[in-house]
Amino acid sequence: MNCLICNAGAERLQTMSDWVELRCPDCGHYRVSGTFFAEIKAKNQSFSVEKARTWLEQQRHIDVNDAPMIDTSERDLVMC
Ligand SMILES: [Zn+2]
């Protein structure tokens, strides 16, 4: 599927959990919660590439062991 941030071809990782997990050649490895993913799709919204990548970069410094999860508390990353 396409990257939810930059729309490039990305690999969707299989997961049993309620999130979408993607590995994009440009944005890296990240997750979007199922709730937030559904909301974005319903509203036909997309992420601000610059804001989302900056946020992901910060999260990776905070938790180096796990892929960052974008959830509904990160609505600032969505373009209006
Ligand atoms: Zn991307």
Q: In the chain, where are the structural domains located?
A: 11-77
Distance 2 CA to ligand 1 centre (A): 8
Cβ atoms within 10 Å of 77's Cβ, excluding its own:
20
- In this predicted structure, what is the pLDDT of residue 71? 97
Contact 45, 2 (CB under 8 A): no
Largest CA distance in the chain: 32
The H or E element containing residue 32 is strand 28-33
Helices of type H across 4-48: 34-43
pLDDT per residue as tens digits for the range 53-79: 999 999 999 998 899 999 999 999 998
pLDDT per residue as tens digits for the range 12-67: 999 889 999 999 999 999 999 999 999 999 999 999 999 999 999 999 999 988 99
Distance 16 CA to ligand 1 centre (A): 22
Distance 28 CA to ligand 1 centre (A): 7
- In this predicted structure, what is the pLDDT of residue 31? 97
